[in-house]
Amino acid sequence: MEWYQTVLIAILVISIIAAIVIYIFRKMIFNWIIVTILGLYIASPLDIIPDFLPIIGWSDDIIAFVLMIGFIYRGIKMRIKKNDVKFSKVR
């Protein structure tokens, strides 16, 4: 077997494992991806509405921050719910 065939097989196996992990944790991964995107939007100097407009310019950042907090809360709530189910099976 040539070296490039071994590399292709390794890439295929890693891709399959990554797809399985993403499928299993898809809801939590989605939450944290959205939180990351919103955090980057808040931190970036580029905005939909420029920040030099006093109140209107900050409104998109405030909305993004509120959405980010909501997704963080949802992710923590899902983790707690998952842990409660695990503990209830032990009892």
pLDDT mean over 1-25:
85
Number of domains observed in the structure of the chain: 1
- Three-state secondary-structure class, residue 50: coil
Residue 36 domain-assigned (yes or no): yes
Residue 87 reports pLDDT greater than 70: no
pLDDT score at 67: 92
Return the pLDDT at 89.
56
Do residues 89 and 78 lie in contact, with contact meaning Cβ atoms separated by under 8 Å? Answer: no
Domain extent at residue 85 = 25-90
Does 16 reside within a domain? no
pTM over cut 0.75: no
Q: CA-to-CA distance for 64 and 51, rounded, in angstroms?
A: 14
Q: pLDDT tens, 35-60?
A: 899 988 888 888 777 777 778 888 88
φ/ψ region of 47 (left if φ > 0, alpha if ψ in -120 to 50, else beta) reads beta
Mean of the per-residue pLDDT values for the chain? 82
Residue 17 lies in a domain: no
Q: What is the CA radius of gyration of the chain?
A: 20
Whether 60 maps to a domain, the answer reads yes
